[in-house]
A and B are shown apart, each in its own frame.
Chain A
Amino acid sequence: MSDNILVQRPEFVREVEISAYGVVEKPLTAWEKIFNNAAVRKCLLLLMLATVWQVYSTLLNNPLLFPKFSDTIDAFYDNIMNGVLLQRGWFSIKVLLMGYTAGLFLAGTLTAFAITSRIGNDFLETLTSMFNPLPAIALLPLALIWFGLGNGSLVFVLIHSVLWPVALNTHSGFMSVSQTMRMVGRNYGLTGPRYVAKILIPAAFPNILTGMKIGWAFAWRTLIAAELVFGVSSGSGGLGWFIYENKNQLEIANVFAGLFSVIIIGLFVENFIFRNIELKTVRKWGMQS
């Protein structure tokens, strides 16, 4: 019988006292709190890298090949102060924004077309598989013939570099919106553009944002590279041209300063602009942890 197999024990009921506990919640120490901050940790790493750079370049002592960190900072400061870097930076960003917005707009149109019809879907899939792997720079010679030495060519290659990754991500985002959410939208009478705007776009927003980030990174690197290749137009150039020009004059510290600005603008957009969009949308909504 089971009575013989099971061990017999008496039942018991306890009064649960609250006061008997020791520490339930204890604040972390100041040091732990500081080190938990990712920004602090990253700054520490950067500081280390700068130190390594400074020590190595001092030992090397060849400013033509590898200027000191302090010289680069000096050059950076000087060029900011005399306005050259700011002007060049602004020129680059202006062109970039033109290409980026045009690219986003085209990507939106193309995906809208792709989700509403099967032929549109095939069209988008074929085009993205054809053009996404094609580096934008490879189109530059053609762009120069078609649009000449000016912003037109730059914007053309920028659109190419933004359009495909954004379209691809937006499309896959739309496709992965859950069936339940779609049914909810239709249940409450949403159809056509309202359905896209109120259900599909917000539901696919994590993917759309990823696409925008990738598109931005592609556009930025394409722009700098394109400026390095064909440089100046109508008397003013961007950061790429600044780097190229200073290399020709063997102002290597300035070349580093130019690279520095490229990095800083990249970091700012990634860690400030996109990060804030992310915090205010997908993080807040719990769609991304």
Chain B
Amino acid sequence: MNARAAPAPLLEVKGVTLQYKTKEHLVTATYRVDFQIYKSDRFVILGPSGCGKSTLLKAVGGYMKPVEGTMSLNGEVIRKPGSDRVFVFQEFDQLLPWKTVMQNVMFALTSSGKLRGKAAADKAMQYIEKVKLTKFADSFPHMLSGGMKQRVAIARGMAMEPDVLLMDEPFAALDALTRRKMQEELLQLWEDTHFTVLFVTHSIPEAVLIGNRILLLSPHPGRVKAELNSDGKDNVGSDGKKLSERIHDMLFSDQIEEEVTRHV
């Protein structure tokens, strides 16, 4: 048992149901989802496709409103996008192609009105150094590799020093080797600054490696199935199974149940 009294959560999601409309359907993406994120958490939302994890992240970002329940950051209800929650997307076109690496990072700081002029340039450079792209500060995004582009996006997000960094499968478009390297670099960055990150993925190994807390969602619609702790080492638990195996079984059992109900 943890002896420390739990502090107030940084991000609190209470009974959130999210729905969106396609041309023909009203889709319920998540149903009454609850979770709390505390400061310096590496909180991972894991689930198969269709469990509404990206939709959930978008809602935390303020891009859509829940039809039920509330989401609050530092006690304030989230209503619209803001620079206290910065997104890192999976797509490479999140970098503005008409700006250099440096300008991309600075753009975030100046547009949000956080910093300006010399101060913004210094802060931008500091984070570009952190992701080891100093040499490429004046390059345009199209000259960089996929991994480098994601590093710029991470630098841009971190330079904002947001309350929480929202990462939507940021490494999914990378090749396996680059992906592995980026995961290690992200953990290294966390060791440096202990930022709070909400990370969405559909990869079990990635979730186990990155997260200190893993939220498992079941699909159609997304509901909370479990919240697990991870120390990144994928240890064998009391039931004699590795964490990744436990997760795998939980997600997999869902699928079998679904198959069964479909055939009944």
Interface of A with B (CB < 8 Å)? 178, 180-181, 183-190, 194, 198-199, 202-203, 205, 281, 284-287
CB-defined contacts of B91 to chain A, threshold 8 Å? 178, 180
Give the CA-CA distance A284 to B141 in the complex, in Å.
10
Interface size on B, residues (CB 8 A): 25
Query: Which residue of B63, B82, B87, B93 is within 8 Å of A178 (Cβ)?
Result: B93
CB-defined contacts of B111 to chain A, threshold 8 Å? 185, 188-190, 194, 198
Say yes or no: A286-B97 contact (C-beta < 8 A), given A180-B91, A183-B63.
yes
CB-defined contacts of A203 to chain B, threshold 8 Å? 96, 98
Say yes or no: A188-B108 contact (C-beta < 8 A), given A181-B93, A183-B81, A286-B97.
yes
Q: Using CB atoms, name the residue of chain B closest to A179.
A: B91
> Do A186 and B81 touch (CB < 8 A)?
yes
CB-defined contacts of B140 to chain A, threshold 8 Å? 284-286
> Do B94 and A184 touch (CB < 8 A)?
yes
B66 at interface, CB cutoff 8 A: no
Give the CA-CA distance A181 to B91 in the complex, in Å.
9
Q: Which 7 A-B pairs have the closest CB atoms?
A: A286-B142, A188-B111, A285-B97, A189-B112, A180-B91, A285-B98, A202-B98
CB-defined contacts of A287 to chain B, threshold 8 Å? 97-98, 142
Give the CA-CA distance A5 to B98 in the complex, in Å.
56
Q: A187-B81, A187-B87, A205-B98 are in contact. List 17 more A-B contacts (CB 8 A).
A: A180-B89, A180-B91, A180-B93, A183-B61, A186-B63, A186-B81, A187-B85, A187-B86, A188-B112, A189-B112, A189-B113, A202-B96, A203-B96, A285-B97, A285-B98, A285-B140, A287-B142
Query: Which residue of B63, B96, B108 is within 8 Å of A181 (Cβ)?
Result: B96
CB-defined contacts of B93 to chain A, threshold 8 Å? 178, 180-181
The A-contacting residues of B in range 133-154, CB under 8 angstroms, are 140-143
- In the assembled complex, the CB of A184 is this many whole angstroms from the nearest CB of chain B, namely 5
A184, A189, A205: most-surrounded residue (chain B CB, <10 A): A184
CB-defined contacts of B141 to chain A, threshold 8 Å? 286
- In the assembled complex, the CB of A125 is this many whole angstroms from the nearest CB of chain B, namely 20
Give the CA-CA distance A129 to B83 in the complex, in Å.
41
Say yes or no: A181-B98 contact (C-beta < 8 A), given A187-B87, A188-B107.
no
CB-defined contacts of B160 to chain A, threshold 8 Å? 188
> Do A184 and B87 touch (CB < 8 A)?
yes
> Do A183 and B87 touch (CB < 8 A)?
yes
